[in-house]
Amino acid sequence: MKAILLCAGFATRMHPLTKNRPKPLLEVAGRPILDDLVLQLIGSGQVTSFQVVSNARFAPQFSNWADEMRARYPGHGFRVENDGAQRNEDRLGAIGDLHFAVEHEDPGEITLVAAGDNLFRFDLDVLLQKAVTEPRDTITVYREIDLDRQQRTGIVELDQDFRVRAFHEKPERPPSEWAAPALYLLTRQSLAKLPVFLAEHPNSDAPGHFIRWLAAEGVVHAHVMKGNRLDVGDLAGLERAELWLKERDGSA
């Protein structure tokens, strides 16, 4: 299976720290944020290829990272796509970058799509094993009871069979406790619809907008994860992430 990692943001809220370093490559607990997810995926035994989408400003740093990962994990592929954006004002957005990645390399029958700046307390093995045997559009969800965090992420409404009925991006009044981080499994057929979606919604940025559209067009399943996640969204979040990872990994 292949993973597309969306890492082309400029993280302007974290300047000056991210002025010359991309957020996914900032170190937390002794390694880049991005490594945390990548190592989990490698450890699952299901993901063997990684396609990282970067902006033009940080593409050389991601290329260096990819070279190091190839040396450490020779059985896995690491490819960096430069989306050409030099400034935050020129960015393609997460959905535009996803389309860019799919245009440049075959996504395969089922692809894991994830933001490169999230840290997870999820066991991904069951999710990925099921994706291999039963490839279908699936989002990950977990219970989030904190209102402030609900308002800063995607929130979904599910039916009794855990299919997505509605997707709300950063809602002021969250209609449920089901939080949906940018960690999806998408089929080749759904990824092929990206040009149609972008033509209809040219200003959409957050990947949840595409999930909402897919759910309206067909069936998107939800896989409940035990645990939670941390989005490193600001400078204070880096300190929280350091403690969070040490606690998760039992090194606090």
Q: Rounded to an integer, what distance in angstroms lies between the CA atom of residue 193 and that of residue 99?
A: 9
Buried b (16+ CB within 10 A) or exposed e, 80-113: bbbbebeeeeebbbbbbbbbbbbeeeebeebbbb
pTM of the model: 0.94
DSSP 123-179: --HHHHHHHHHS---EEEEEE---HHHHTTSEEEEE-TTSBEEEEEES-SS-S-SEE
Average pLDDT, rounded, for the chain? 92
> What confidence tens digit (pLDDT) does each residue in 120-164 have?
878 899 999 999 999 999 999 999 999 998 998 999 999 999 999
Q: How many residues does the chain have?
A: 252
Look at residue 206 in the predicted model and tell me its pLDDT: 86
Residue 64 banded pLDDT, cuts 50, 70, 90 = very high
Look at residue 205 in the predicted model and tell me its pLDDT: 83
Residue 246 has pLDDT above 90, yes or no: no
Residue 252 has pLDDT above 60, yes or no: no
Q: Structurally, what CATH architecture does the domain formed by 2-248 represent?
A: Alpha-Beta Complex (3.90)
> What confidence tens digit (pLDDT) does each residue in 84-128 have?
999 999 999 999 999 999 999 999 999 999 999 988 878 899 999
The residue with greater pLDDT, 11 or 63, is 63
Residue 250 has pLDDT above 70, yes or no: no
Residue 237 banded pLDDT, cuts 50, 70, 90 = confident
